[in-house]
Structure 1
Amino acid sequence: MRKRYGNLFRTLRFKLIFGFFVIVIPVIAFMIYNNLYAIQVVRNQVAQSNKNLISLYMGQIDRNLEEVDKYLYSIASLETGLLVLEMPRDQNPDRYSFERIQLYNKMRGDLPSYQLMDMFFIYSPANEDLMVVANNRIEFGNLQEIQNNLMHVFQDRYPQEVTFKEWFVRKIEGDYNLTRVIKYGNVYIGAWGNAKDLLVPLNLLQLGDNGKAFLATAALEPMADQAFVHANHIDLDYTDADYKLTGTDKKFMVVGEKSARGRFSLIAAIPDSTILEKLPFLRRIVSFISIGALVLLPFILYLLRRNILIPVNRIIMAMRRAEDGNFDIRVAHRPYAFEFNVMVETFNRMISQIQELKINVMEEQLNNQKAELKHLQLQINPHFFLNALNIIYNLAQVKDYALIQEMTHCLVEYFRFMFRSNLTFVALRDEIQHTLNYLRIQEMRFPDKLTFDFASADHLLDGRVPPLVIQTFVENTIKHAVSMDRSVHIHIAVADGGGDMAHIRIRDTGRGFPEEVLARLQKGKMLGSQEGDHIGIWNVQRRLRLLYQDKAQIAFSNDDNQGAIVEVRLPINREAN
């Protein structure tokens, strides 16, 4: 694995791509960072500017509310009629009504001076009497609703949002209103104003086409434009930072300022697209260049891959396949660069020359193998030939013409098979018949000392096998196991080895392989000597390696009781070669 990664780091592909990214990525990253930094600076500047503007407007609203507070406190401190309203009306009804009318006229005359307020009110808990002074902007039906809401506030012992220290927000029929209550003794005096009236000056703010400014409750619920806030998923929580970017499809910058006089805030939502329009021209060019570079980066990599990496990779893959011995490979001619076309033509020409050279070498090796096979097939044991002639001579002396004819016929068939040296493969039935001819000749040589039997699966008899595979091991058995002093039985069996394999088993009842010979055979070492001992076994092993490489196996062993066992597994060719 380490070598693989080491080779990867040294490839042209890695160096080109790495070098390209080392140069391009820092430049693009710097341009992107510079652009983001510029955007951040512009946002900070716009946020600070709008926050200052919101603070200015919030200060103006607070000053107007402060003037209302001063007026209410002046009423509480200067108007002695409030003392009369503290007492039950039954004690002095006329004076109660007189002071109530006096306060009503006083507030009605002062109300137009406070444009943000729609109503002043006084509430006497002792008499459960609410006196309301309202301007013409409040319709009669709404006035009744407001009076009921105020009575609900006082009679419910002041809900949580009601406070005597600051202005609080009340919602009536979808409209948000600012309310101020001051307690003087056992009397409450207050002011009531619609939040929409406070937003009129905010329309002068330049917040872009979709920008909005609105008052929000202490829970940051907008008092106006609720549909706009919910549709754009704007989060009005501005308290964590100088500004906040929020929204889904469209981003908005949110800045706000809390009122110093009440439990509400003034918040502005500015479209981020409007803010970025204020970026300098060069900053936008940098942004376009960065985006263009990122868009062109895959195209540049595609050109780099198409014009350099793919040609190099194809040449390398072809070289690796040639290294594995596949000399039929050629690199296809493509519209590459001139240098790569020269490399492709040179490589193809070189592979063609190597292929021709390899063909010549292979033909030479095949000729040598054929010559070696021919030599192996033509090796005839002179003792076997002389013994066969000697048997015929002895049979002629006793005039046993039937045996002479059988012996002659077996010899003719034997030598006819041996002289078919131009065949690399023979039918399994021919190999078996040749072996049986050989055994019959040896049976005449060793009467009553040699017996044999044979068994084979019929569907294997038409298969093709190398000649002399079975006869060689039978000959080795007769040479080393059969004598006039000991009877030997040879059993030959050919069975299906699974798939296209044949399993040939040759077993005798002789003395078996000597221990040192068996050890060398099992290790695959050559046993041939200058005297020719075991040369037949080596011949078969050599031929099987030439024909099948590692697909054929030969196993040698001794029977537990007595005798040697040779097992051969080799492919069965279904067609003549």
Structure 2
Amino acid sequence: MLHINRKIKKRSINSIIIKISLIVLCPITLVTLSGNYYCQRILLQQAADYNRGTLSLHMETVDTELDNLSRSMFMILYQSLNISRLLQGKDSDARIDELLNIKTTLAGYFNAYDNADGLFLFSPATKDYIQSTSGKESIQDRTKLKKYIKNVIISSDYLDKLEGVWHPIQINRKYLLIKVIKKDEVYLGSWIWADSLMEPLKNLEATSGTSFFITDNGNSPLSGQNLLIEENLKITNSALSKFQFGSRHKYIIIGIPSSTGNFRFFMVIPYHLVIQNTIFIEKLILIVYFFTLLLLAVIFFQIQSQVIKPMNALKNGMLEIKNGNFNVLLAVPKETAEISAMTDVFNDMAKDIECLKIKVYEEQLEKTKTHLHYLNLQIKPHFFLNSLNIIYSLALTRDYKLIMHLSKCLTDYFRYIFKSSDSMVLIQEELRHINNYLHIQELRYTTSFYTNLDIEAGLDFTCIPILLIHTFVENSIKHAYTGKALLVVDIKAARGKDDFDPNLEIVISDNGCGFSKEQLKELNTPVVITEVREEHLGILNIKQRLSLIYQDKASLQFNNNHYGGAVVTIRIPLETGRPALALT
């Protein structure tokens, strides 16, 4: 069966909680913001429609008064005045009577109506100009207005706009609406100041907090210029159909065009007046939103304290067990039954593992001691047979004195290797034993061996495995001594150069023929030893014992001297006491 391993991206519980919180909060936030925006737009549109009705009523009133004024002008010109008498001779009685009639008619109009600020009659042919005003303008304004009317009518420039509808003009930085009708080259006109049209709205401005102003059809202001300048309001035609925002949403603006003239009324409503009724709803929405945030935060912290924290404790406990520390006991949380049960199971498991570890450790230790003892016993008989041969040879020569001396040396030798089952001895004990062993060999071969000892000061009480140096000295005698030349064995012991990992370096060398290339390759190749063979008993025995005691912290290296002879370099951890066996 084909198994496909897919790498699954792992996510923490915290990231999952945050993701779920975002999934919940994002729609809530979106609905809250969009709902709030929608409600405000609806409210603004309703406020605009309501106030547009108020503004439309005022505009209808103004248009009605302007229509009435236009009809009154038509009746005056076509019914109340006799234009033919006005156009007679300059000094005729009929003309003078008609001029008086015109003045009386125009003045009488102001006594009956108040929907105009001024009336005038102008005859370019006779250059007669008669006017009657309400007195709202200054003499300078009245003089400039008279001059403007005469110039427009005489030059016929711009006259078509004044004859059609009520049209705005500017006099001395003031704006007014003017309209002119014509009969037989005689012109009758009327004007109304823009401020007069605003008079009925002042009370509404004072009570409602809104503002009003008038513009021409190009949206140039005829009144309320100060408000437009101070608030930097720019009027667009969108205010005529729906509403327009002004000055960074501080105001909304609505407008109504006139049906009788080239002007428009606009209302400016402060934004806060429109939405003041929704403040409670907005606060309520914000309270619900922040309550949701608070609830999610409480849930998050509850999960942190009752789930995440205990699970992190479980994870850390498992890491401690992974690192070999089985003496772990976690506090059992009381808030969550499931987490409490998991913690109890973990504590029981840690205790079981600790007991099992101790049992396995004791079994391994016993097994290792047994193996070491077996290896030591392998070495001890190895020399025992050779010793019996020496005694036998001396007995044949009947040299009983030498036999007694040799027996004493052999007794010390075997007492050393049989004195205990311990695998570690002091280096000075090992060197004393080697001297005894060499003396035995000298008695055997009736020759002398030269031994050069170079032991660094302070290392006499350093512990080494028993027979560690002896094994290689014995090999030098067995393989390097030929009986023809003096055998020299050098034994050096010194501390290693690594200050962070102190070790003992022992070098054993001789002046024999050294190792062959095949032997060096075989001896320096690390192999897993599963069986001790008789032909490699000594070296393989040392390798196994070093592996059991130090594992990979010990090394054994074989070389040849450049002048001949074998060199064995041993590196082991520097210990001044008897180290515990290293187990895996």
- Give TM-score scaled by structure 2 length: 0.62
Please, what TM-score do these two structures have when normalized by structure 1? 0.62
Aligned 1:161-240 pairs, distance under 5 A: 200-201=202-203, 203=205, 213=211
- The answer to whether residue 529 in structure 2 is matched with residue 555 in structure 1 is no
Number of the residue aligned with 1:328: 327
- Report the counterpart of residue 475 of structure 1 in structure 2: 474
The answer as to whether partners of 1:243 and 1:254 remain within 8 angstroms in 2 is yes
For residues 378 and 46 of structure 2, the distance between their equivalents in structure 1, rounded to whole angstroms, comes to: 111
Instruction: Provide Cα deviations, 1:482-505, integer angstroms capped at 9, x if missing partner.
Output: 332565433332332313422223
Q: 2:575 aligns with which of 552, 573, 576?
A: 573
**Per-residue Cα deviation, 1:33-73 (whole angstroms, up to 9, x for no partner):** 444443233211222133345656777898999999999xx
Give the CA deviation at 1:297.
0.9
Aligned-residue identity in percent? 24
- Report the AA paired with residue 520 of structure 1: E
Whether 1:49 and 2:46 are equivalent positions in the alignment is yes
Pair 1:337 & 2:345 matched: no
Partner of 1:6: 8
- In the TM superposition, what whole-angstrom CA distance separates every residue of 1:164-196 from its partner, at most 9, and x where no partner exists? 999799999xxxx868999xxxxxx99685999
Change in Cα spacing, 1:383 to 1:53, as seen in structure 2 (3 Å) is: closer
Task: Tell me the equivalent position of 1:306.
Answer: 305
Describe how 1:97-116 pairs up with structure 2 within 5 A: none
Name the amino acid aligned to 1:322: I
Q: What is the aligned partner in structure 2 of residue 497 from structure 1?
A: 497
The residue number in structure 2 matching 1:484 is 483
- Counterpart CA distance in 1 for 2:572 and 2:386 is 33
Conserved in 2, the CA contact under 8 Å of 1:457 and 1:496? Answer: no
- Describe the shift of the 1:512–1:178 C-alpha distance in structure 2 as closer, same or farther (beyond 3 A): farther
Q: Give 1:479 deviation, angstroms.
A: 3.0
AA of the residue aligned to 2:40 = R
For 1:367, the equivalent position in structure 2 comes to: 366
Q: Partner letter of residue 464 of structure 2? A: V
Q: 1:7 to 1:472 in 2, by over 3 A?
A: farther
CA distance in 2, matches of 1:246, 1:404: 128
Secondary structure at the counterpart of residue 482 of structure 1: coil
Alpha-carbon distance in structure 2 between the residues aligned to 1:197 and 1:437: 136
CA deviation after TM superposition for structure 1 residue 333, in Å? 2.0
Contact persistence 1:327–1:355 (CA under 8 A): yes
Cα distance, 1:277 vs structure 2:
4.0
1:296 deviation in Å?
0.4
> 1 CA distance for matches of 2:445 and 2:573?
34
Instruction: For 2:578 and 2:172, locate their aligned partners in 1 and report how far apart those are by CA, in whole Å.
Output: 104
Q: Which residue of 2 aligns with 1:350?
A: 349
Aligned residue for 1:462, secondary structure, equals coil
Instruction: Work out the CA distance in 1 between the residues paired with 2:287 and 2:193.
Output: 56
d(CA) in 2 for partners of 1:515, 1:168: 123
* 1:352 CA drift (Å): 2.0
1:426 is aligned to 425
* Deviation at residue 442 of structure 1 after TM alignment: 3.8
Distance in 2 between residues matched to 1:198 and 1:511, nearest whole Å:
133
Structure 1 counterpart of 2:42, which letter?
A: Q
Alignment of 1:16-415 (within 5 A): 17=17, 21=20, 25-26=23-24, 30-52=27-49, 200-201=202-203, 203=205, 213=211, 254-255=252-253, 266-271=267-272, 274-277=276-279, 279=281, 288-319=287-318, 321-382=320-381, 384-388=383-387, 394=394, 411=410, 413-415=412-414
Give the structure 2 partner of residue 519 of structure 1: 521
1:268 is paired with a residue whose SS is: strand
Structure 2 spans left out of the alignment, 5+ residues: 78-102, 118-132, 144-161, 180-190, 580-584
> Highest CA radius of gyration, 1 or 2?
2
> Does the 8 A contact of 2:255 with 2:264 survive in 1?
no
**Cα distance in structure 1, aligned partners of 2:527 and 2:578:** 32
Counterpart position of 1:157: none
Deviation at 1:360?
1.8
- How far is the alpha carbon of 1:411 from its aligned partner? 4.5
What is the rounded CA distance, in whole Å, between the counterparts of 2:200 and 2:33 in structure 1? Answer: 37
Alpha-carbon distance in 1 for matches of 2:417, 2:374: 11
Are the aligned partners of 2:251 and 2:268 in contact in 1 as well (CA < 8 Å)?
Answer: no
- On the 8 A contact 1:452/1:491 being kept in 2, the answer is yes
Query: Residues 399 and 340 of structure 1: is their aligned pair in 2 closer, same or farther, counting only changes over 3 Å?
Result: same
Counterpart-to-counterpart distance in 2, 1:430 and 1:204: 117
Partner SS, residue 550 of structure 1: helix
Instruction: Indicate conservation of the 8 Å contact 2:449/2:488, yes or no.
Output: yes
> 2:495·2:502 contact (CA, 8 Å) conserved in 1?
no
1:570 is paired with a residue of what secondary structure?
strand
- State whether residues 317 and 330 of structure 2, in contact with CA within 8 Å, keep that contact through their aligned partners in structure 1: yes
- Given that 1:252 and 1:270 are in contact with CA atoms closer than 8 Å, whether structure 2 keeps it comes out as yes
Please report how far the alpha carbon of residue 17 of structure 1 lies from its aligned counterpart in structure 2 after TM superposition.
Answer: 4.6
Structure 1: which 5+ residue stretches go unaligned?
79-101, 118-132, 148-163, 183-188
Kindly provide the amino acid, as one letter, of the partner of residue 268 in structure 1.
I
> For residue 454 of structure 1, what is the aligned residue in structure 2?
453
CA spacing shift, 1:314–1:170, aligned 2, 3 Å: farther
**Count of residue correspondences:** 507
Does the CA contact (< 8 Å) of 1:521 and 1:556 recur in 2?
yes
Query: How far is 1:408 from its partner?
Result: 6.5
Aligned CA-pair RMSD: 6.4
